[in-house]
Each structure stands twice: as structure tokens, then as C-alpha cells.
Amino acid sequence: MKDVKQVYTVGELTQYLKYLLEQDTRLRGVSVSGEISNITYHSSGHVYFSAKDAGAQLSCVMFRSYAQRAPRLQNGDKVVLTGNMTIYPPRGNYQLMVQLVQKELGKGDLYQQFLELKEKLQKEGLFDAAHKKPIPLLPRRIGVLTSPTGAAIRDIIRTLRRRYNMGEVIIIPTVVQGEQGVASIVRSLKQAEGSGADVLILARGGGSIEDLWNFNEEAVARAIYACSIPLITGVGHESDFTIADFVADVRASTPTAAAERAVPEKAAIYQMLEEYRQQLKRGLQYFIDFKRQVLDDYANRLEQAALKQLRDKRHELALLQTRLKGMDTTRLLDQGYTLTLKAGKILKSSQELKEGETIETVFADGRVRSEVKQVEKK
């Protein structure tokens, strides 16, 4: 009999393809170069367009929150688009959800360097999920690598204090912009290794691509990759993607979001502790119920063993009673047998008699006394 292949509905197959696209790490934060065509600015604030080159065309959507930060686009613009691939089920077409737009791509500009370094490091495996370290649930020490005077540090400290006041915050002053930035970031990451921090936040506020460029440098990327402490990046705004984000264990959209990702909220901790308490309670109750069941089983087995022993003894008693009944002289006499007595004792052998002695024979209905005339021995 031939195997029957599974038949999917259109919706099921589309959702499965959508799942595959969205789970592929290579298609998250992917950058694509092309030419804008068929652009439509919708009244909702969303922007719909296509990116094309000589050989293909890609449907794109840029939602309002990202469109507000993007440059104004028109058909024919040469751009680099960064975002996540997905499928729009109602039409069944795959599309790029654009988060970042860079116009007028030239071979020597910063974005070309960004793409080249991104491709190089990706091939080396620096972005692989297998290298990502988990963020500790309840960190005791949180290291913050950023400028000690910028807005980012204020946002981070305020967020950490509001959400989580059980950990120590270690500020490692770091130059995050300008010529000294790369060396400072690398030095701070090495310094953090000896700080005893359980988690690190590398952050800076928003700015232009030039302002954030230190986070796109190869030396910074390799220093993050080499860091043994779980690290969260919070660089710029939500629409800003840097090489550091791809290498980090977790990427947050802003410094505030990085602080939120680094520590749990107190209410969540209390809820978690309550859940643990309930789990322990259920576990203890299960243990008690299990042991009670074991005790009940032992008690039942003991009771059954005692009953069996009692039945065995009753059976033995019945056998003995049967044997005793079989030896009852009254029953033997009733069956026609007799007993011969000498001086009141049962005779078992003719050897016990002599001629002239008096014996008594017992019948079921009486006794007879006799005198021995002759004893014949075998």
C-alpha cells in the first residue's frame, strides 16, 4: 500500500513558509541593495514599495514608526534596505519589513563598508546563535559601558533602579564617539572581564551613521565576540543596526531597552517566586501523596500476608482435625473393630500375653472379660 502524503491547506502551507523565513537568522537584519519602484505613501503612515535590480524584484513594507525616521523616497532611488524577511499570507508573497534605509549607495561610502564587514564576519560565524550566551535571570552585578556623562547612562541607571534594586551597577567609563572610541570600547570590554559583572550593557544614544560608526568597526566586533560575559547592546534608536548588534548576545533597540532586557522587573520576580513557591508546594504535596500511597501499599501487603498466614494455619488445623477424627476409637468400634485391654492398657502385641491372664475386649456396645487359654506366636 502506498504511503499517503500529507495534504496541506493553502493557509497551513503559507504559515509554515512564513515560519521558516522568520526563523532563519540570516534573514533577520538582512541588508539588500536595489532601486525603489512602485512606491506608495499610505494615509496610515506606512510605506509600500518594491526594491529591484536587473534580475529580480522584492516587495517591501516600511511601517509608520520606521518611515518617520527614514529619508523621503521616490521611484528610482538607489538604496540599501535593512530589515526582516516575512510572508504576507493574504497575498501569499514574501516581503521585506524595512527598518532602516540608506540612500545613494556608493562603493566607497560607509554603508558599503558596513555590508562588506557584515558579510565577512557572518561567514566567520561571529553572528551564529550557537555562540550566544544566555542572560542571567537575577544578575548581582551589572556592568555598563558607555559615556559617564551622556543621556544613555542616565536612562540606564533610572531604568535599572526602577525595575531592579537588588544588583550592583558598575559603570565603566567608555568613549563611544570619535577617534578614541574604538580603542576605548575594546579597552573597556577587557576591563569588564575582571569586574565580576554577571551581564554587560554596551550603549550609547542616538545619532547619525557617522556618530555610531565605532560600533561598526571590526576591532569592536571581535572584542565583543571574545568577551566571556553575556553582553547586551543598546546603540542608537530602534531603527539603528550596527555590526556590534549582530555579534552581541542580545540586541536591544535603545539604551533603555537594553537595561530592561538586562534585569527583570520586581513584580515579575515576585510572580516568579510565587510560581516557584506553588511548584514547591505542589511538589511537596505530590511527595506526601506518593509516600502515603507507598505506606498504603505496604499496609495492604502486610494485611494480605497476615490473612494468607491465617488461611494457611486454618487449613493445617483442618487437616489435623481430619486426621484426629480418623484416629477416633469410637468411630473404629462403630465400624466393627475392637480393642483388647490388659489391666486397663491397650494391647498392641500378642507378645504381651501369657496363658491364664485375664483380658478385656471392648466392643462398640459393651465389654467382654476373657481368660487366655493359649498364646500362639508368629
**Most trustworthy range by pLDDT among 11-15, 216-220, 303-307:** 216-220
Cβ contact 96:60 at 8 Å: yes
Q: Band the pLDDT of 167: cuts 50, 70, 90.
A: confident
Q: Band the pLDDT of 109: cuts 50, 70, 90.
A: low
Evaluate the CA torsion angle 241, 244, 246, 252 in order and state its sign.
negative
| Model confidence pLDDT, tens digit, residues 241-287 | 899 999 999 999 899 999 999 998 888 778 888 888 898 988 888 88
Q: Band the pLDDT of 108: cuts 50, 70, 90.
A: very low
Is the pLDDT confidence value at 185 over 80?
yes
Cβ contact 41:47 at 8 Å: yes
* pLDDT, the chain, mean: 88
pTM higher than 0.75, yes or no?
no
Q: How many Å apart are CA 244 and CA 156, to the nearest integer?
A: 19
Q: Which region, left, alpha or beta, applies to residue 299 given φ > 0 means left and ψ of -120 to 50 means alpha?
A: alpha
Lowest mean per-residue pLDDT among 231-235, 284-288, 321-325: 321-325
Task: Check residue 257 and give its pLDDT.
Answer: 94
Q: How many CB atoms lie within 10 A of CB 343?
A: 9
Query: Rounded to whole angstroms, what are the CA distances from 14 to 19, 126, 180, 341?
Result: 9, 31, 50, 112
Q: Which residue has the higher pLDDT, 287 or 121?
A: 121
**Most trustworthy range by pLDDT among 76-90, 187-201, 287-301, 319-333:** 187-201
| Model confidence pLDDT, tens digit, residues 71-105 | 889 888 889 999 999 999 998 899 999 999 987 65
Is the pLDDT confidence value at 327 over 70?
no
Is the pLDDT confidence value at 4 over 70?
no
Q: How many Å apart are CA 153 and CA 258, to the nearest integer?
A: 11
The three grid cell numbers given for residue 177, joined into one nine-digit string: 564617539
Print the SS3 string covering 325-368. HHCCHHHHHHCCCCEEEECCEECCCHHHCCCCCEEEEEECCEEE
Q: How many Å apart are CA 169 and CA 178, to the nearest integer?
A: 26
Query: Rounded to whole angstroms, what are the CA distances from 52 to 30, 33, 36, 96, 291?
Result: 16, 8, 7, 12, 70
Task: Check residue 219 and give its pLDDT.
Answer: 96
Task: Check residue 224 and give its pLDDT.
Answer: 97
Q: Band the pLDDT of 364: cuts 50, 70, 90.
A: confident
Q: How many Å apart are CA 173 and CA 186, to the nearest integer?
A: 12
Residue 251, phi then psi, degrees to nearest 5 = -105, 125
| Model confidence pLDDT, tens digit, residues 27-51 | 989 999 998 888 999 999 999 999 9
Q: Which region, left, alpha or beta, applies to residue 38 given φ > 0 means left and ψ of -120 to 50 means alpha?
A: left
Cβ contact 223:186 at 8 Å: yes
Lowest mean per-residue pLDDT among 36-45, 309-318, 361-370: 361-370
Matching residue, cell 544588583: 167
Residue 220, phi then psi, degrees to nearest 5 = -65, -45
How many residues would you count in the chain? 378
Average pLDDT over residues 294-306: 89
Q: For residue 57, list its beta bridge partners.
A: 52
